[in-house]
Chains A and B, each alone.
Chain A
Amino acid sequence: MKRALLDLLQSARLWRIWLRLGLQDVRRRFRRSTIGFAWIFIHLAVMILAIGFIYGNLLGQKMGYFIPYLTISLVTWAYLTSSVVEGGTAFLNSEGYIKQISLPLYVYVFRSHFTITLVNIISLSVFFLVAILYSMPFAFGCLWVIPGLFILLATSFLLVLIFAHLNARFRDIAHLASLGMQVLFYVTPVMFPADLLKGRGFEFVVVLNPFFHLLEVVREPLLAGHPAEVISYAWSGAVVALLLGLALITIGRYQRRIVFAL
């Protein structure tokens, strides 16, 4: 455990290496494609148009509210999903490095987390375009999104850390995790407003779903200009604490064996 934590600290210090490798990964994804980074926007825009106009009408939503809601929900959700699914490959994709070069192991976790975060920051900018398009008023309360983003950043890092170990050790986890995230996507109010569940006896789906609260701490400040409900912060805090505990167990247990699992 102590060794693993020391490794984490040393890895963080090698920021020049993981920033460079991470940037390289993002660039590689779009290099030699004609429109490059624009794919991030196009991907999101098409999703928003398709889901927005079908479900918006199906659920009888006002577009002026529903489209921005959907945008920020999808962006936030994509961040969590890629942390689990893509972040899970952090060690697997760095196998060549891990086996040939003596760098602390978590350099590759930072690399993967940085890549994922950068791509999602780019797609977050789509929300601001949408906000301008629908001329949403800006309130200083929107700045409450900042603590929310930090909660999300921490959650994402811990997810990458945990799943990177688990995926390297148990190759089924990757499939299980991507299935899990897909199911959670439909269960969690991502593409429908949470209010629709209230009064139908389905409220527990929302209230007891930690992912809903993680979405809320980002969504609510941006859309309504005031902090999310206290309960959402409490749940989010609990999620981070739980993941931190799991991460400590995971790194303590598997860190030394990762190189053999690859």
Chain B
Amino acid sequence: MARITLQNIDLEFTVGIQTDQTVKSALALLLASKRHSVRTIKALQSVSLAVASGDRIGLIGANGAGKSTLLKVMAGIYPPTRGSVTLEGHVCPLFEFATGFEMEGNGWDNIRTRALLLGMSWREINAKIQDIAAFSGLGDFLDVPVRCYSSGMLLRLAFATSTAVDPQILLLDEVMAAGDASFIESARKRMNDLMGRASIVVFATHNLEVLPRFCDRSILLDHGQLVADGPTSEIVHIYRDSVLGEP
């Protein structure tokens, strides 16, 4: 059984002190014994959420509302400042394509590396690598270093590999999400299959058209706060009203 439980999550970034703190500035702060140069950004404020097996959850909200941050908390990448995160099940975050590509390596090497990073076992990789290669449609190019690939070919390789995982908890950010017009039909189908295999899907998007197709439940975030949680059609409605200011 997969499960995600977030209880009163606060996440604060302290800008200034953490992005470019130097020994000198730390000393200066220590001597001045005030911390006025530190700016705190509240990325998430008292977010509580329970996600159970079978849930398909959409995350919506304006840019900077905290969608990606919340996904990263669920992925265990950002430890919350306050509150507790309980994860049961293997988490597979798909936030972007490029991470883990070794430009000097060939396609096969990169499939293996990327798959390992996504949490596949060696045996699983061996079992799936032919399927990944076939879906990528790259053929003999798989023997060539990926630095020679076009960006479209890189995308195919990354997409084919990333969608081959069998995740318990799948976290998707916009870029990876299905429904983008540029995805060919087979890619869309593969993405749907992937989302179907996972026992939990959390999916951040701006595309309100595709959301109801994938998610029965949605969450609206605004300025780091969870504003509404409920059936997708209702939440999309609330969001449209708040953004467009019309009934």
Q: A residues near B, CB below 8 A? A: 16-17, 20-21, 24, 27-28, 31-32, 96-103, 169-173, 176, 256-257, 259-261
A172 to B20, CA, bound (A): 10
**Which B residues are CB-close (under 8 A) to A176?**
23
Contact assessment for A103 and B18 in the assembled complex, using a CB-CB cutoff below 8 Å: no
- The interface residues of chain A, by DSSP majority, are classed as helix
A26 to B20, CA, bound (A): 30
A31 and B104 contact, Cβ closer than 8 Å, known pairs A20-B116, A102-B93, A256-B79: yes
**Which A residues are CB-close (under 8 A) to B95?**
100
Contact assessment for A257 and B18 in the assembled complex, using a CB-CB cutoff below 8 Å: yes
Partner of A100, one of B14, B96, B104: B96
A45 to B231, CA, bound (A): 70
Q: How many whole Å from B14's CB to the nearest CB in chain A?
A: 8
A31 to B105, CA, bound (A): 10
- The interface residues of chain B, by DSSP majority, are classed as loop
Q: How many whole Å from B53's CB to the nearest CB in chain A?
A: 19
Contact assessment for B23 and A172 in the assembled complex, using a CB-CB cutoff below 8 Å: yes
Chain B residue with Cβ nearest A100:
B99
**Which B residues are CB-close (under 8 A) to A260?**
13-14, 18, 78
Q: Kindly list the 5 A-B residue pairs having the minimum CB-CB distance in the complex, ordered from nearest.
A: A102-B75, A100-B99, A172-B23, A102-B76, A256-B79
- Mark B194-227 against chain A: 1 for CB-CB distance below 8 A, else 0: 0000000000000000000000000000000000
- Mark B85-119 against chain A: 1 for CB-CB distance below 8 A, else 0: 00000010101101110101100000011001110
A99 and B102 contact, Cβ closer than 8 Å, known pairs A20-B113, A170-B23, A172-B22: no
Partner of A99, one of B19, B26, B77: B77
**Which A residues are CB-close (under 8 A) to B13?**
260
A24 and B77 contact, Cβ closer than 8 Å, known pairs A16-B122, A17-B116, A100-B99: no
A31 to B183, CA, bound (A): 35
A103 and B117 contact, Cβ closer than 8 Å, known pairs A169-B21, A170-B21, A172-B24: yes
A159 to B95, CA, bound (A): 32
A97 to B98, CA, bound (A): 10
Q: How many whole Å from B131's CB to the nearest CB in chain A?
A: 21
Partner of B18, one of A27, A96, A172, A261: A261
**Which B residues are CB-close (under 8 A) to A261?**
18-19, 21
Chain B residue with Cβ nearest A103:
B117
A60 to B61, CA, bound (A): 76
Partner of B100, one of A31, A101, A172: A101
24 A-B contacts (beta carbon < 8 Å) = A16-B116, A16-B122, A20-B112, A21-B113, A28-B102, A28-B104, A31-B104, A96-B98, A96-B99, A97-B99, A97-B100, A98-B77, A99-B77, A100-B95, A100-B96, A102-B93, A169-B18, A170-B22, A171-B20, A171-B22, A257-B18, A259-B79, A260-B18, A261-B18
A247 to B75, CA, bound (A): 26
Contact assessment for A27 and B104 in the assembled complex, using a CB-CB cutoff below 8 Å: yes
Q: How many whole Å from A212's CB to the nearest CB in chain B?
A: 28
A21-B113, A24-B105, A101-B99 given; 10 more Cβ-contact pairs under 8 Å? A17-B117, A20-B113, A99-B72, A102-B75, A102-B93, A103-B117, A173-B23, A259-B78, A260-B13, A261-B19
